[in-house]
Structure 1
Amino acid sequence: MTAARVHNASSNRAKPALERKDVFKSVLDSPFRISWPSIPMSVQTTTLDLILEMLGNVAEYRSIRKRAHKGPDVSNKKRKIGEDASAVVGDSSQTDAPPPLENDNDRPAILNHISFGINQVSKRLDAQIRLVRKVTSSSSVGVISIHPVLIDHFPHQIAAYNAGKPEQPLKMIYLPAGAEARLAVAMGVRRIAVLALDVDAPGLDKFEKVMNAVYPITAPWLIAALSPAPRQLIPTHVKQMRTTAPKDMKLAKLMRAQGKAAARKMRKEKAEQGKKEKEEVEKKKNKTALVSCVSAYTVRSSDPGTRCAGKTAVEDYLVSKEFERVRIRLDAEQLSDTSSDVLDDAYEDQVASRHLSFLSLGPTSSTPASARKTRSFASPDALLDYVTRNWRRDWVTVDLTTREAIEMFALRPFVLVLSIDAPLLDRFNRFCARFAACAGTRQLVLRLPRRYTQVSLEDFVREDDYVRFGSDAMQDLVNIRVSNSFREVAALHAHLDEVNPLDPGHLRPNWDTYFMKLASLASQRSNCMKRRVGAVIVRENRVVATGYNGTPRGLTNCNEGGCARCNSNSDAQSECVCLHAEENALLEAGRERVGAGSVLYCNTCPCLTCTIKIIQTGVKAVVYNLSYKVDEASARLFAEAGVELRRFQPVKRT
């Protein structure tokens, strides 16, 4: 077998001559690397001429068959990767050649004994290596360590085959420059990088003199592995490798640094984008699954809650945010004439819809606008069971009107209770306006229950007092409180955008909110007469220590007269014996437990004395809630020491 090597492989680092210069680098020559054989130019030229003579009219034959073949031309690049290598050994025909026609007597015999193309020749060599080395499977060629430069692996494959000591060893001859184009023309293909001939190819006897001048490629370390001969040391050599380098090395380093900076910036932007996408996914996971708009509470069937606060407007707002309405069907007793004396919102929607249709002379609808596309349930238990099984979807209801129902739903971590209220006189005026609008359309309603009659301001106030101050008041169960004193619905919606009921922080506090609440809770233990201050030191989102301000252990509490300065009007700090909350927490933790990356949460901005101690203990960030008289001075010290100081931004709930 013979192979052709071409000299047109250019380096990926090739640059214009004006930009780069030739340099020599000392490299360690691997003893396992098998170099290309040294072939005289006369042998190369003679071999090329003999191959061209052997190919003869192959190009003409292939051209005729391509014109006669009507199917698509399948190139080497589209060859099936998983092709069995054993099939390659038995069939040396090329897949890019057109299939032979019936009664094809003009097919050149050489086509049955020739292979060309890097992939095809490599597969045949691999298959032949496996055949001659079945008994020496423990020995292998380290091709993986060789740089995959197109055809640089062929010497290793041929040496691996020859190491098996076959009857006829493989020989390789690389051809002179320009051989690739001439062989491609002779074969009628676009290009040929490697060409292999079988030992029984017709006309191969003409290569006898050429073959005798070429020695087979061998590898001493492979032969030693296959024979019982004693092992010997294979020496290594240091050689000078010729390469290129930038002429202006300083400019090249600058450009390389700029490229690295641009790459880092791109990676950072991608990371931030991925973080934002992840946060969006987390928000979607933790988003509120059900919002109960509590503005009208019905503690008993005859005692309704506050009316005309705007819960329908809030419900419509949430529906515009892709929430789905859910309803609880009322029993017959709740729809009786004696259940209430105040107009309820469900009936308002029905009457308003009919009134609008009457005024516009359009067709009336039997279904209120707010009730369309609404799921209904027979009881709060049925609704809770359904939304629990479908908690990833967003639901909104205004029908949880008892404390028992609200408490049952509030146990779920995905339920948010929103209270919508308005000034009493505003709600009464809205009620009167709606009653007047509905009274003019009574003739459109088949039956107007007695509870839809006008009520006095005194009755309206009595019902409001019962809801607010009765034994079953529910304000303690509310997550968000909205005061609807707005004159327009658009203004209410704008306020809801600021409150953002969809923020997961309303149900599950973030770390800042969580630790600030702990600091505020710690401040409740304060005994200082001046102010309540609490502090929490956190490391990797774990509480290290807490502290609050007051007199030291063993002394009388400040609020019991233990600190004369705090119990008088004196401003002398030196007379104060109270420990500050930050000091207390730092003393409790100690420098070793504070460590690197700790964060201090304090409900009040630290004073100058505490600022110095915080910096000294190695705290990296300080989060505070309330301002203090020396905020600017403390901020300057923190900035100089590299400690982050930021003010806590609580989630808006009103």
Structure 2
Amino acid sequence: MDLSGAGTATPIAARRVKSQVGKVTCMAMAARVHNQASNRAKPHDALERRDVFKTVLDSPLRVPWPSIPMSIQNQAFALARDFLEPVVKFKSEQRGKKRPIHDTNDNSSNKKRKLDKSGTGAAVNNPASDTSSDRPPLLDHMVIGINEVTRRVESQIQSMRRAVAVPAAVEASPVLAPLSLILVCRADIDPQILIDHFPHELATINSAKPAHLVKMIYLPAGAEAELAKLLKLRRVSVVAFDVDAPGLEKFHEVMQAVDVVTAPWLTAPFDASHPVPVQHQLISTHVKQTRTTAPKDMKLAKLIRAEGKIAAKKIKQGKAKARKEKQTVSTYRTAGSRCAGKSAVEDYLIAKDFQRVSIRPDIEQLSDTSSDVLSNFDDAYEDQVAAKHLSFLSMGPSPIVSTKKPQHFASAAQLLDHVTREWRRDWVTSDLTTREALEMFTLRPFVLVLSVDAPLLERFHRFNTSNSHPVSLEAFVREDDLRVFGDGPRESTSSLNALRDLVNIHISNSFQSLSALHGYLDDLNLLDPGHVRPPWDAYFMTLASLASRRSNCMKRRVGAVLVRENRILATGQVLSWIPSRDLINMHFRYNGTPRGLTNCNEGGCIRCNTNAYPGDAEYSECLCLHAEENALLEAGRERVGLGSVLYCNTCPCLTCTIKIIQTGVKTVVYNLSYKVDEASARLFAEAGVELRRFQPIKTV
């Protein structure tokens, strides 16, 4: 066999072959026999190449074709011709009967003929030609054609699986008789890929049911044309016979001489009839020769390859340097405290299944002019994201896994519209750097704003350590002041100071490692929904603290809120009940002198204003009402009822403790400690009143 020039083709020839229908598979066949040039040994203009053969290991999971001697092939072909003689005679009679009717079309021998249900060829215009009384029984037990035989084999495999999974009584359609022998004109089939599946399918059948083996014999070259001529068909590539085919015992000797196609990894560990473990089989190593090309001058080729590696390394180093410089420039251009750890916090949230989003004002123009720029947005964002300052995120639990690449939006309004429609998902961004943009987002109940900062000197060292162009401390401080305070006497809307009142959580990142920062963030529990929607304890304690702001006592600011079933009963001020609408009209109350007397901070209480102690001449009884007393007096015992909760920003004193117990309050929640906490706790415990200290959600 002459292989010279077999692996070469001019571009014109390649285009010609590719344009012809039916030749594309021929090109694929050339790839399967490993006749193409190696991808690693690419041709070079300065080097002449030669054909070489390279020994490689084939896949051990590939099922090879059985090795059949030529004598067995010829013997099987001779038996097949004798075996098909009744079918050949029947076809000749059928053809003679219809010849007078279609005498004008006798010369059209190249037209396709359809296969009847039995798998044999029949004229298109004569569907009832096989209904003669002398029809040979063999026609009902044979299948002709690659597609028909493949369907029959797959049906047999499916019936084996169905027999295991579904009871026989439930089966809707009867199972055809299993095949026993398949004759393949392997040498005449081009491309070979059309029949490569037969060894694997037969291995599946033979490995699962060794009691019903299917043998496969391929015939010598020229068998396809001769069988087609005998059966009056255009092509006969594959012929199969089932176990009930009459006279199949003629092939018994030939079938015994052919190896069974099996696969060791498909063999069942136990046989149903003989429950004995099957011995493990050693899979032989398949070695094949790959035809490729190699340079004639290997020394010159190695030299050129080494030079190419050096050039590629220089290009890679240049790209890394340009990327690092780009990151330095981007750091100066973006708003926010540099090197505070914003990118680390953002990556932490992304690891918690948050999706990164970004704002690119020029994305609409770029989408019309340059798709390449849009494709590079993800890389550019990775370079710039470390320089942003503020982030927002939704706090609802989400099962959706975030992807690594960010989604881009042309404006903050578009981003707000998107996250509002997809509010059940978790998002994070560092592109909201103006007060106008942040105010739009903070109106939403699912938005939380984080601020990440670090000591100035620490950030300066981080910047110079991570960048190839160090800056002086003076330049770093000057640029940092510009970011924090703005560029004018009045704060700009994008300065950090102008945004601090919109921040929900302040993070001070003075940690020396990512693990320490992550531990701190875990302790903050950023995923707690209480950060955006406070729980009842935090809500009522905030009202109690707000009420204390109205206190006129010179010694201590104390506020209290009386609650039942999460509804406010009183805060120590005048309260009116409207039964018809079940509403409460409340006014905040606090500690101070009673109604009608001079306020404590105006001199109404001598004891509070003189800071006297027992035994002093100025010492007298305090005239101030405590916040807890005020709330209980305004509510009254009837409205306190069962299950009421008293929230106060300071632990009640002994006097208030007695009155709280008397009015029937069941739970007391306080924030700040007092000097008689232990005595009050003993009384509350004895009376069965729950006393607990408020645990606020960490925000710093």
* TM-score between the two structures when normalised by the length of structure 2: 0.43
Relative contact order: is structure 1 or structure 2 higher (C-alpha 8 Å, sep ≥ 6)? Answer: 1
* TM-score between the two structures when normalised by the length of structure 1: 0.46
